[in-house]
Amino acid sequence: MNITRTPSGAGPRAVVLLVLAALLCLVPAPLATATTTPGPDDTPVPATEDPTAGVTTAEVTVSLTDIAPAVLTPGEDLVVRGTVTNGTSTEITVPELRLRAQQSAPISRSLLERWLDPASLSATTLLHAERLEDPVAAGATVDFTLTVPADAVPFAPSYSGWGPRGIEVTAHDADAPVLVDVPSARSFLLWWPDIEVETMPLAVLAAAAPTAPERAAAQETGTRLDAVAAERLEPLLAALDRPAVDLAVDPSLLVDVPAVVDLTAGEPADEEPTEEPSAPTTAPKTALRGALGDFAEAPGRAVHALLWADADAAALTHARRTDLLADVAAARDTALEDAGLTVGTGLAWPAAETPDADTVTALSAAGATAAVLPSSGLALTSQLTYTPSARADVAVDGATLPAVLTDERLSALLSGTLLPVDPDQAPVELDPVTARQYLLAETAVVTRERPADRRDLLLTVPRDFSGDPGLLADQLTVLAQAPWLERVGLAEMLEHEAPEIERENLPERVVEDGEVDAGELDRVSEVLERTAAFAGVLDEPEALVDPVRTSLLGVTSAAWRELPAARAGLVDAAEEASAARRGLVAARPGSTLNLINEEAHIPVAVTNAMSRPASVVVRLNPRDPRLVADDEVTLEIPAEQSATAQVPVHAVGSGDVVVDVVLAAPDGTPIDEPTEIRVRVRADWETVGTAVVAGLLVVMLVAGLVRTVRRARRRARLGEPTTLPEETTT
């Protein structure tokens, strides 16, 4: 860390130093002799009328650019490089640099952190002092290199002497008064006298999963998800390409998610469809997918599959949608099979900051055989004076689930961030040199806490890693080279026994901000159900259902916690698309129908606006028992055409009846809301009409007979012969 203002160690002794200044002002400072003092600076302050006169130290800064070697061993020179920047308007006439180191190694992680506090004091030893050849002009920056010969390194080559030492480089003008505070920079060196120690197993787990902005960009642009995430993930994979690094992969990066089919596009209805090329059995090997495959096949690497879309297992559990948990697990397995990748599926890594017992239980029921959890999730019941092992067992429904606990502080250091021991303090971004040295120093302190106790350490790289891949690669490299560490994989670490340490149980249920709620998940299920029902009218329903299901399962991604509004937008868009599909095949009822027969057929016109044929079942549901639908009719409708179904009915009375026209898939599942038609049922009109006509005919017959008889009688009275028809013989 580049500290611009650091106590010189003379603050509490300023008065004493002023008294001694007259005696020592002419004595040149030692340039290479190591001395031990209670503070970082043992140079007396010359007596002057104004001890604060001279360089304005608040504007002079010291930065460290390298400490070599990262781990110092006997027989090696210590080389410290850096820069001095004079931000004042006054020249530094005789720039003098001093390199100090703590006399003893810090014995705890909190003491290690305290060294970086500019106000902290510690007993230090002067390792080297050197004056630059030229003055530092106002506004100028100059480089420096301080070298401590191997024979001048004062650290004992013993078991008690190894470990981290805080170092400090100060700069001041030797021709000006020495101030209470001098510009300085602090960091650490690691002293390793090649001794036998009980090494500490250390595993690293990283995630290759798209972030919420990457998912949103892929949705908005219609670009493959892996193509959008490649810019960030490809350099990350290159940095992770180190032995004993485990990788957890979101399976949605491995396969192409098919676009939802446009049912209104395609070959014109009056043309023969062209033969489409057969789809490849596996997704094309993009650079990112190739890198993931190479990583999985490399020796010393292990790849684990997250749930499909890195689903938010906690949210699904809290919404009581373990059915969706099973769906994303099945989608994961399908994606791995399609990608031809054989990786582990038993490791659960919940994305929640505070995983709860309900979530871990649900994951175990879904097939998880081990879990990665934050160490804060299983708090210790009593305070320890050392860092406990990362191995722990979690109680799950009367059984135990093996778990490994992340060390959050060490994990943050992989990205160059220091998480203070005090949680109320803000994280501190370290420069690359200090980040490297601090990571080594902290692992050394953890090892020294209980040197005979072989404890496990787990470091994780977060899902949304956006740091410097080069720094991450350097951090992993130095961890692999640290002689007090033993790099292992998660599989080996999980085989270690969990120590008997009393920990709190996981909380039963913790709902965090940004989780997808039950209401949104219910909407997702409804869209999928409606889509599956409508797809039944197609020859190949899976061509529509599978892409929609895959797309909707992406809504469960834990990444959307960061952008819940974008997640809600996806659900809204899915509902709109589902509603638009429903109108593509629809009944078009005409005006009110008149039914005067007891048995008849009601015509129902159905239109198909899709570019592919549809097979529908037309069913009538009268709301009044005076009309009964006898049967349903299956209707084949060509693409972009219409057809009419003649549905048989019979009447058992008369009256106005409202009839629901239901369109269903061949399996009987309705594809849309019913459409109403009105029917005037007058089934007795036919009977009455027949009776009236028959009555008229009878009347006419009787009238004819009466008329004939009367005419005959009238002729008889007049003596007219009655003419009878002649017989015809043949």
Exposed/middle/buried for 669, CB within 10 Å: 0-12, 13-18, 19+? middle
Residue 502 lies in a domain: no
Helix then strand count (H, E) for the chain reads 16, 31
Residues 204 and 343 in one domain: yes
Give the torsion through C-alpha atoms of 609, 573, 543, 367, to 10 deg.
-160
Residue 728 lies in a domain: no
Residues 65 and 158 in one domain: yes
Q: What does the pLDDT read at residue 721? A: 56
- Total domains present in the chain: 5
Residue 264 lies in a domain: no
Q: What does the pLDDT read at residue 684? A: 56
Residues 547 and 643 in one domain: no
Residues 17 and 91 in one domain: yes
Residue-wise pLDDT for 258-312, tens only, equals: 778 888 876 544 444 444 444 444 556 789 999 999 999 888 889 999 999 999 9
Residues 700 and 571 in one domain: no
Spatial CA neighbour of 311 closest among 29, 552, 501:
552
Residue 507 lies in a domain: no
Residues 127 and 149 in one domain: yes
Q: What does the pLDDT read at residue 309? A: 96
Residue 269 lies in a domain: no
Preceding peptide of 462 cis, ω within 30°: no
Query: What is 303-348 written as a DSSP string?
Result: EEEPSGGGB-HHHHHHTT-HHHHHHHHHHHHHHHHHHT---B--EE
Residue 506 lies in a domain: no
CATH number at residue 161: 2.60.40.10
Residues 628 and 697 in one domain: no
> Any idea what the Cα angle at residue 36 is, between residues 173 and 59, rounded to 5°?
25
Residues 622 and 483 in one domain: no
Residues 569 and 599 in one domain: no
Cα–Cα distances in angstroms (integers) from residue 115 to residues 7, 81, 136, 265, 441, in the given order: 11, 20, 28, 68, 12
Range of the domain at 549: 518-582
> Which residues in the chain land under pLDDT 50?
1-57, 268-281, 685-686, 688-689, 691-693, 724-730
* Among 142, 174, 191, residue at a domain's last position: 191
Q: How far apart are the first and last CA of the chain?
A: 139
Task: Quote the tokens at residue 414.
Answer: 């992989």
Q: What does the pLDDT read at residue 36? A: 36
Residue 277 lies in a domain: no
What's the sign of the alpha-carbon dihedral 116, 120, 124, 129? Answer: positive
Residues 291 and 333 in one domain: yes
Q: What does the pLDDT read at residue 359? A: 96
Residues 550 and 659 in one domain: no
CATH number at residue 669: 2.60.40.1710
Residue-wise pLDDT for 359-404, tens only, equals: 999 999 999 999 999 998 899 999 899 999 999 999 888 889 999 9
* Among 560, 582, 604, residue at a domain's last position: 582
Q: Does residue 556 contact residue 306 with C-beta atoms inside 8 Å?
A: no
How far, rounded to the nearest angstrom, does the alpha carbon of residue 459 sit from its chain's CA centroid?
A: 18
pTM, full prediction: 0.81
Q: What does the pLDDT read at residue 7? A: 43
Residues 183 and 222 in one domain: no
Residue 262 lies in a domain: no
